[in-house]
Chains A and B, each alone.
Chain A
Amino acid sequence: MRKSKFGIRIWTIGTLLAVLLTGCSGTGSGADNAAADSGAQSAGGSAAGEIVVAVSRDTALDRLDAGAYDGSMDVHAMIYDGLVRYGEKGKIEPSLAESWDISEDGQTYTFHLRQGVQFSDGSDFDAESVIFSFERWIHDPSNSLTLASAMQSIEAVDDHTVRMTFDRAYYPLLTELTFARPVRIISPNAVEPAGDVKGKFVKPIGTGAWVADSYKMDQEAVLVRNPNYWGEAPKLSKITLKVIPDPQSRVLALQSGGVDLAGGQSGRLPLESLPVIETDESLETMKSPGTSSHFLVFNYDNLHLQDLNVRKAVNLAIDKQSIVRDLMGGVGSEARGLFPPTVPYVTDTNSRGYGFDPQEAKSLLAESGYTDSDGDGILDKDGAPLKLNLVLQQVDFPEWKPMMELVQSELSTIGIDTQLQVLEPNAYYDDLWTNRTYDMIVYRTYDDAYNPHSFLSSLFHRTQDAPAVAWSDEKLESLIDTALGSTDESKRQEAYDHIFTRMDEQAMTAPLYYPDDLFVFNKRVRNVEAGYTTFEPILWNRLEVGE
């Protein structure tokens, strides 16, 4: 009895571990088989123009309410249109609104709507449907968009003109209107009872190029071309979004031909597999410059880090080129300023950043009076060793661990002792936003439409009851206020020039890496072009398939 009990115990633990250790590849093979099956179908029907795209998580297609935050943002943007859309480097382009006027004081926006547009169910798009869509969420106090909190009224001037008034001037209002949610327009027939702003969402009905066709939770979502679409009709007739949670399995599915396209943020591919992908003759890769950056936040309460020379030295000690080249497989670019050049208002002159110069870093530290008085390889000053802890998490960002190990070793060469602390995501975010027990913490900027205004306000500007999160600087905060309230484009650029230059000169952060989005697709897919936002990673409507 006892003997077998032990056997069972060991066997159980062994099995558990085996499952833990191989879990990913285990699910992979299943997903891969499933993918291979549908791949056969899609290959057969390629004349009709169908592709299969791998995504990492369920799209929640049946709950894809334009006014809610549930489900896949990418699919939101495929099914629903906004009044305006986000073009290259944040340029605001017409979408359902053909044109718009902004009053002198920047508080009244009048949108002239596109005429003759129909929803996918055949009903007409007009001012009433715009007001319906906004009123469903605009009064929700939990909504953090300035659009929601600052809006005073929304009214129809006529059937194809909508006027919104706000209690303040805030230039990114138009940018907020390009978001994937909740600002996009939904048909009043999508709720029950139809047209009731408090009605219950039943079906995704939008004006977008794609319509929800079928959906199997945690398996796949099928989108077909919208016959009533107002713009240029998509070349493909059908896009199947297949859920494959494990990155390695997405690579395998691409290799087997079961999936035609994968990558971006909705189906990230492991950069370590790039060599394997590049040798595969059936696959092609595309790197599209991202709009986010990874960087170190300095804790302004730390005495060492209050010294500008220490902050500069940390910047100078980190080899940003090596991060991109060696750790990230060349997918990305060398970090300079906090924001990459794809972000609005960033120019070469206002975001120079710091290069890689450990010697200069050492002399800056010496200049500040740091010496290695006890010969242990760690600099000290007034008896306090230059020891800093560096907090990271590796669940959402597995690449941070090797990156921080590299940073740690680079900092040790200039005499800074860094302790890495890997926290689980909840503890990590608590530390970042509230506890602030870190000396340095690695974080990333938001994507596209949130940059730079939203990110700057949330990390570098005080709130009503708390000082700024990432770095507290009175002058910077007043510059941010100026930029946000300015209605004049050139004054805004000027304010941002000051903001970025000041952040750079004061070394308020240590930028590390500008990631690119990596896409891999089967060569039979043509016209693969990157979009301008994370939620529109590919210009879906232009995709074609050939043989």
Chain B
Amino acid sequence: MKNQVKTGKQVSAWIGAVLVLGVLAAGVFAPLLAPSDPLDVHMAHRLAGPSAEYPLGTDHLGRCVLSRLLYGTRLSLFDALAVLAAVFAVSVPVGLLAGYAGGRTDRIIMTVIDVLLAFPGLILALAVAAMLGPGALHLLLAFAAVWWAGYARLIRGMVLQLKENDYVLAARASGSSHLRIAFDHILRGAARPILVLASMETGTILLSLAGLSFLGLGAQPPVPEWGVMLSDSRPYIQTEPNLMLFPGLAIAVSVLGFNLLAEGLREPGGPSRSWRNSFGGAAPKRSRAAKPAASARIEAQRGHGE
């Protein structure tokens, strides 16, 4: 790393990392940083401007906006991370199984995935969340139930490529168990793109969660959450526009942070290296280097590549 010329992308990766760490720290240390209790209602101080006591002013119930933002990090960001964990907990094994096992197993799994992907993800999550009833946990489940399909498919595509590699064939020839090959050789090869994907997706999920909370499906009042804070301040857009500004900024900054970080993780060596090329960094060699890149991509994208 030290020897490499710092490209613009690397700088942005660092910025992303700093932003993400900053937001994470804000959430973890919220009790220490918050100037007051985020749930404390003071009707006498409602809609107050910034002051020493309330650095970012107060909302329509006289609650400290800064404190609510800080505590909101816990819910907004940590929920997004939890959804991410749940999504990958499902999609990684499923994608691995489908790609590695192939044949009928693959066909069945891919059919399920295709059905799920036939619906727009956010709308489907909305439907599942509405069915389960409002609540942060329900929203989390709704997202995990809908979101995994896309990633399982991508991971399957990666596995399809990786399992043709010489080192995998070698491992198979040397009698390694399927489990060992799948997890040790193939998954390790796919680790980097999965990490990039995860970082990128945190931003997307954060945004979607905030959107559904905005619609009243997520966190229950009076718990502070960024999407809820946005929706609470909407009626005051004409009279108190900064009420809407702060949670909006918080969401924007976090999403930006994760996206910049993802960009940086994706391309550590320099510009314009696609993901598939970056596998080379993690995996020793490729089996059929001569294989045209385009056909490999098509195989990865195909629903039922045999």
**When each residue 179-220 of chain B gets 1 if its CB lies under 8 Å from chain A and 0 otherwise, what string results?**
000000000000000000000100110011011001110001
Given A394-B216, A405-B221, A409-B41: A21 touches B211 (CB 8 Å cut-off): yes
Can you name the residue of chain A whose Cβ is closest to the Cβ of B207?
A: A17
Chain A residue with the shortest CB-CB distance to B237 = A248
Q: Are A2 and B154 interface neighbours, CB within 8 A? A: yes
Kindly specify which of B21-29, B88-96, B98-106, B228-236 makes contact with the partner chain. B228-236
Total count of chain B residues near the partner, CB < 8 A: 41
Q: Shortest beta-carbon distance, B30 to chain A, in Å? A: 20
- The closest CB in chain B to the CB of A392 belongs to B221
- Taking the closest CB of chain A, its distance from the CB of B47, in whole angstroms, is 9
- Starting from the known contacts A13-B204, A402-B61, A406-B43, 10 additional A-B residue pairs (CB-CB under 8 Å) come to A2-B154, A2-B297, A9-B150, A20-B214, A248-B238, A272-B236, A326-B46, A405-B41, A409-B222, A424-B133
What string of 1s and 0s marks CB contacts (under 8 Å) between A260-294 and chain B? 00000000001011011000000000000000000
How far in angstroms is the closest Cβ of chain B from A107?
A: 49
Say yes or no: B301 contacts A1, CB within 8 Å.
Answer: yes
Q: A427 at interface (Cβ–Cβ under 8 A)?
A: yes
Contact of B221 among A276, A326, A404 (CB under 8 A): A404
Q: Mark B31-62, 1 if CB is under 8 A from A, else 0.
A: 00000000111010010000000000000110
The answer to whether A422 touches B214 (Cβ under 8 A) is: no
Proximity string of chain A (408-439) to chain B, C-beta cutoff 8 Å, 1 when within and 0 when not: 11100000000111111001000000000000
The answer for the CA separation of A419 and B223 in the assembled complex, in Å, is: 11
Taken together as a complex, chains A and B put the C-alpha atoms of A1 and B200 apart, in Å, by: 17
B301–A427 contact, CB under 8 A? no
Query: Which residues of A lie under 8 Å from residue B275 when comparing CB positions?
Result: 2-3
- A272 lies within 8 A of B297 (CB): no
Which residues of the partner chain A approach B41 to less than 8 Å between Cβ atoms? Answer: 405-406, 409-410
B45 to chain A, nearest CB (A): 10
Residue of A nearest to B297 (CB): A1
Q: Is B274 an interface residue (CB 8 A)?
A: yes
The answer on a CB contact under 8 Å between A17 and B211 is: yes
B128 in the interface, Cβ–Cβ < 8 Å?
Answer: no
Closest to B227 in A: A21
Q: How large is the interface on A (under 10, 10 to 19, 20 to 34, 35 or more residues)?
A: 35 or more
A2 and B299 CA atoms in complex are apart in Å by 12
> Which residues of B are interface residues toward A (Cβ below 8 A)?
39-41, 43, 46, 60-61, 120-122, 130, 133-134, 150, 154, 200, 203-204, 207-208, 210-211, 214-216, 220-222, 230, 232, 234-239, 274-275, 297, 300-301
Instruction: Report Cα–Cα, A448/B290, bound state, in Å.
Output: 82
Residues of B within 8 A of A118 (CB): none
- Cα-based distance from A544 to B234 in the complex (angstroms): 35
Q: How far is the CA of A326 from the CA of B41 in the complex (A)?
A: 12
- CB-contact partner of A21 in B39, B221, B230, B300, under 8 A: B230
Chain B residues with CB under 8 A of A421: 134, 220
29 residue pairs of the A-B complex, CB under 8 angstroms, read A2-B274, A2-B297, A2-B301, A9-B150, A13-B122, A13-B208, A16-B211, A17-B207, A17-B211, A20-B214, A21-B211, A272-B235, A273-B238, A275-B239, A276-B238, A276-B239, A326-B46, A394-B216, A401-B221, A402-B61, A405-B221, A406-B43, A406-B61, A409-B40, A409-B41, A410-B41, A421-B134, A422-B216, A424-B133
Q: CA of A3 to CA of B40 in the docked complex: distance in angstroms?
A: 46
| Measured CA separation A409–B61 after assembly (Å) | 10
A405 touches B150 (CB 8 A): no
Nearest B residue to A319 via CB reads: B43
Determine if B274 and A3 form an interchain contact, defined as CB atoms under 8 angstroms apart: yes
- Please give, as numbers and ranges, the residues of chain B lying within 8 Å of A420 by CB-CB distance: 220-222
Rounded to whole angstroms, the CA-CA distance of A326 and B46 in the bound complex is 8
Q: Which of A1-49 contact B (CB under 8 A)?
A: 1-3, 6, 9-10, 12-14, 16-17, 20-21, 24
> Separation in Å of the B266 CB from the closest CB of chain A?
9
| Distance (whole angstroms) from the CB of B48 to the closest CB of chain A | 12
Residues of B within 8 A of A272 (CB): 235-236, 238-239
Contacts of B120 in A (CB 8 A): 12, 16
Contact check, A2 vs B220: say whether CB atoms are below 8 A apart: no
**How far apart are the CA atoms of A17 and B122 in the complex, in Å?**
9
